[in-house]
A and B are shown apart, each in its own frame.
Chain A
């Protein structure tokens, strides 16, 4: 009988996320096949000892491309979520701590950004900015910051009414001290939950944009453009879609479970 884990989401999520991170960091070191090297003898080859995940239409090693894709996917998501978190929190806190007119103005702006459904804003921006990793990160950040702004604003507005905050304020604590010492710690939990789900969300959005040809451009290996390229060979080489598909799905699953687990732990729902 296996011992009952109190927070299985956290345990499983953390395991998956760690595995994905280890694969991204160390994978290319241990499996040091060049993800760009073309070998026409191996075109669409199935899994073998030399190529555990088979080869793509140009005879490139799929495992190597998955591992390098993991680096790209994880680093873009972490960067985008970090910037979104910083920008969003700053804007949310400004809204909450300024007068109602500035608050109204900022939240109207948030409403307008939110009026663009899902990844539409990122698609529109990526379309104009052109493909490329930095442009992709900008497009994803423009879409992602609003969630953090809303959380920080909401939490700060409720926390402001708490007695310990009022006490600190009446004792003459400066606005920045109030924010850093008394308000910020109360916002950390919900933000951690949102950011964890956020990383999973950005992994999916990045893959979708690359799939649509608006993100990482071939030959750079990204899970999204691998899936797109594999679609032409669904029948003869299904491993070309399965490998990146499972990689994306598993990573998102890991971050979703981790987010659920953290939410359970800090008692907040995102």
Chain B
């Protein structure tokens, strides 16, 4: 396990450097002048030169990149143009809200996925299977940008059970979490069903049943446990969707996280903030991926060897 951990941590370096470089490249190399965009078409040449100097954009690209890398090493992401605050501070203030939302979405996904997947996988072809999988295919297809407003109409405006937008107590978290978690729940339920069906055909299940274990006990003790590894893998694969889903969910529910910070910064042409947020999202994803791989290695020893 230690060897596997070291190998995975070492592999983190090139990917992180690649992510950092690509984020830099998107902001600095893609056509379109951020300074002109920031100041507007009416800005005079003197303003443009001044702004360019202030942001260090008049220096050679390699120097800009070096300054950027050195800054990153000490946690300096530059200063926001619209907030006049360090970008790292803006992100640090909002990061917990994003993690809270993502975690809540994950909980919703798991709470929905397990019963659905088990109902479907325990009796494939039955009415429960059809219902659960019908829900799943709809859940995968309904986009966040529709599910969010739909839930708002139903639970905030009509029934008045839950607050419409913003962050606060648990009540504020419910609708955003359901909006975010439904698609993942559907994907996980389908995955769980499939692996349960595959496990049912295995020798150890036949042995368990033939030695007189009840179908239910065999399903829970052997079926679920073996199906779990593929669920963990799929959770890892779907974390990207969950993270970029938070971005959209935050916009729908005015949730004060880094997704909303990113989108408003794009609107305000606040490029240092855009750069910092994109980098934070990507690096969070890289770390989360590593974590799921490690969890998988703990759950399934075979992973460590290959």
Give chain A's interface residues, CB within 8 Å of chain B. Answer: 108-109, 111-121, 123-125, 127-130, 200, 204, 207-208, 211-214, 224, 227-228, 230-231, 234-235, 238, 241-242, 244-246, 248-250, 252-253, 256-257, 260
Residue contact A115 to B32, C-beta cutoff 8 Å? no
Chain B residue with Cβ nearest A142 = B26
Residue contact A248 to B146, C-beta cutoff 8 Å? yes
Residue interface mask B123-166, A partner, CB < 8 A = 1 = 00000000000000110111111100110110001000000000
Residue contact A118 to B240, C-beta cutoff 8 Å? yes
- B19 on interface, CB distance cutoff 8 Å: yes
Chain B residue with Cβ nearest A127 = B266
> A241 and B137 in contact (CB under 8 A), knowing A118-B241, A211-B248?
no
Smallest CB separation, B93 vs chain A (Å): 20
The B interface, classified by DSSP as helix, strand, loop or mixed, is helix
Chain B residues with CB under 8 Å of A114's CB are 240
Within 8 Å by CB of A256, from B140, B146, B274, lies B140
In the bound complex, what is the Cα–Cα distance between A208 and B23 (angstroms)? Answer: 21
Which 9 A-B residue pairs are closest in the complex by CB-CB distance?
A118-B244, A245-B146, A117-B240, A112-B18, A253-B141, A117-B243, A117-B285, A127-B266, A252-B141
Within 8 Å by CB of B18, from A108, A121, A213, A241, lies A108
Within 8 Å by CB of A231, from B37, B141, B149, lies B149
Give chain B's interface residues, CB within 8 Å of chain A. Answer: 14-15, 18-19, 22-23, 26-27, 30-32, 34, 37, 137-138, 140-146, 149-150, 152-153, 157, 239-245, 247-248, 251-252, 262-263, 266-267, 274, 278, 281-282, 284-286
Chain A residues with CB under 8 Å of B138's CB are 249, 253
In the bound complex, what is the Cα–Cα distance between A256 and B187 (angstroms)? Answer: 12
Within 8 Å by CB of A108, from B14, B144, B240, B248, lies B14
In the bound complex, what is the Cα–Cα distance between A244 and B286 (angstroms)? Answer: 34
Residue contact B137 to A207, C-beta cutoff 8 Å? no
> A124 and B26 in contact (CB under 8 A), knowing A118-B244, A245-B146?
yes
